[in-house]
Amino acid sequence: MSKAIEQFLESLYLPRQALLFGFAVVGAVGAALVAGQQMVLQPVELGPLCRVCAGVPNGAQLVARMIVLHHREWLAQPVDLTWLFYVNVALVYAIQVGPVLTFGLWATRRLAPYPQHRPTVRFLCLIPAHNEERVIANSVSSLLRQTYPRELFEVWVVSDGSTDATEENARRHGARVLRTGVRASGKAKALARAYDELLDEGERGRYVCVIDADNWVAPNFLAEMNNAICERGYECLQGFHDVLNGTANWITKSVWLNSIASSVLYNPGRFRSLGTALLCGTGWCCEADLLRRYWSSIKTQTEDIELTGLLLLHEGIGVAWVDSAHIYDEKPLTLWSAIRQRQRWMTGHMRVARRLCWALLREGVRRRDARLIELAAYYMVPFAMNAGNLQMLLVVGMNLGLLAVQGPLGWAGWQWGVMAVTLLYVFVYQIVGFALETGLWGPAVLYSVYCAVFSFVAWVPALVWACFTVWRTDWIFHTPHFATAAVPASAERHLRAR
């Protein structure tokens, strides 16, 4: 059964199929809402309703059961869940939706590039890799083509138990290779081994740059990091997160839209308002001594956001956003890979929340530091997203007349207001962020539809699944990657603009 489900999910990659699936979901929900209004306002004829839903598998039986339940005497009156609805709305909009829209407003004015400085910072570029023979040339070659002086940086591939030609291909393209062991241990442990082997005790002034194996790095990446460090003395920095294969299919288009919106609005807005962005897993730099001191405390699958919290909590160091330093990350091509990747992310995110949320909140209140309090709230986002899933069910129940909500949120005006904010979050925010960077306003609208469907079919199961794997400490899933030798179109636009 699980193999059949996996094959079905992997088959959902064509735009036409995505649209049909999305229309089917929207149509089914719409039919349920209309049916609910009909049941509340007047008696329902079973025959016509079943004929409407005949195209949905088991749709007629489902509707018939709903009608029977609706007319049962013990459900004659809607169940009052006012308290649950209010708590749910507070969680979703205070922790998930509100911060995203607020940071987006802070980022309406783009961050200016840092002034040019003479190259002085020494970089150790690390590429953690496990069986990445098809894509390792992307990261190695693009790093070795940096405009930065070659004597000021090294490129190492950290092979985490690779059994294919990853190490051979890396050496052939000019990188040095460090093998961590015969068995894969995960990204965090592989990097820990590299720090122990390649960094000297108490070494300061040198920066470690972490790049995923499938990435393509813009030629000016290290130069822009050097400019930011020399200008402001930053100790932890994150570059602009773009997508390498954004036009491949509907899945990558939806993720491309979201990644660009986050890099144009969310992270710059965080940095401008709070003085700290978030590390994004790849395309980041950190002072070497900090990594040696704090990396041993990394315990989860999401080492990026965990390191963000550790540095802010113990050192008061935020993450600087370097808008002009671009990396291009390959995204999953199949729905199954996307779900598994997000399951790993959310598992790690929940584990970080369990480890750091209370400490950040307590210290934030004690120090009166809004950065700590906001980061504690960010760690609760997976739980708010699951609350958002519950909210969809509550709204459907209200429209079916099975549930009731009292007070302001039961009034039509407030409900329309909540709907407007939701549409801003789901569509407008992402369309604007993507189009400001790419100029592709028309495609942005279509990609936002893909993104809405993707959120439903990928994020919902990943979030629920993560609730049952939150105790796991292994890497869970290795995302497969495929070679993309050509420079991405978005990178060409960026380089021409420079």
Q: What is the DSSP string of 61-111?
A: HHHHHHHHHHHSGGGSS-EE-HHHHHHHHHHIIIIIIHHHHHHHHHTSSPP
State how beta strands 206-210 and 216-217 pair.
unpaired
Beta strands in 342-439 (DSSP E): 403-404
Could you tell me if 333 and 482 are in contact, meaning their C-beta atoms sit under 8 angstroms apart?
yes
Pure H helices in 379-411: 381-399
Confidence at residue 181, expressed as pLDDT on a 0 to 100 scale: 81
The helix/strand/coil state of 30 is helix
pLDDT per 10-residue tile (average), the chain, 498 residues: 48 41 46 45 44 50 52 64 91 95 94 95 97 95 97 97 95 96 86 93 86 97 98 98 95 97 97 97 96 95 97 97 97 95 96 97 97 98 93 84 87 88 96 96 97 96 94 87 65 54
Architecture of domain 104-382+478-497: Alpha-Beta Complex (3.90)
Yes or no: say if 180 and 192 are a contact pair by the CB < 8 Å rule. Answer: no
Helix (H, G, I), strand (E, B) or coil at 301: coil
pLDDT for the residue 200: 84
pLDDT for res 125: 98
- Can you tell me the distance from the alpha carbon of 255 to that of 13, in angstroms, rounded to the nearest whole number? 13
Paired sense of beta strands 284-287 and 236-243, if any: antiparallel
| C-alpha distances in Å from residue 189, one per residue of 33, 302, 416 | 49, 12, 49
CA angle 392, 395, 399 (to 5 degrees): 140
Q: Say what the pLDDT of residue 489 is.
A: 58
pLDDT attached to residue 61: 53
pTM attached to this predicted model: 0.83
Instruction: Read off the tokens for 225.
Output: 């990091």
**Torsion sign, CA atoms 295, 298, 303, 306:** negative
Helix (H) or strand (E) segment spanning residue 300: none
Q: Taking Cα atoms as reference points, which of 424, 416, 426 lies closest to residue 459? A: 426
What is the structure's pLDDT at 184?
78
Q: Return the structure tokens found at 497.
A: 């603009």
CA distance 383 to 389: 10
pLDDT of residue 494: 54
Domain map (residue ranges) of the chain: 26-76, 104-382+478-497
Per-residue pLDDT at 30: 47
User: What is the per-residue pLDDT for 486?
Assistant: 58
DSSP 130: S
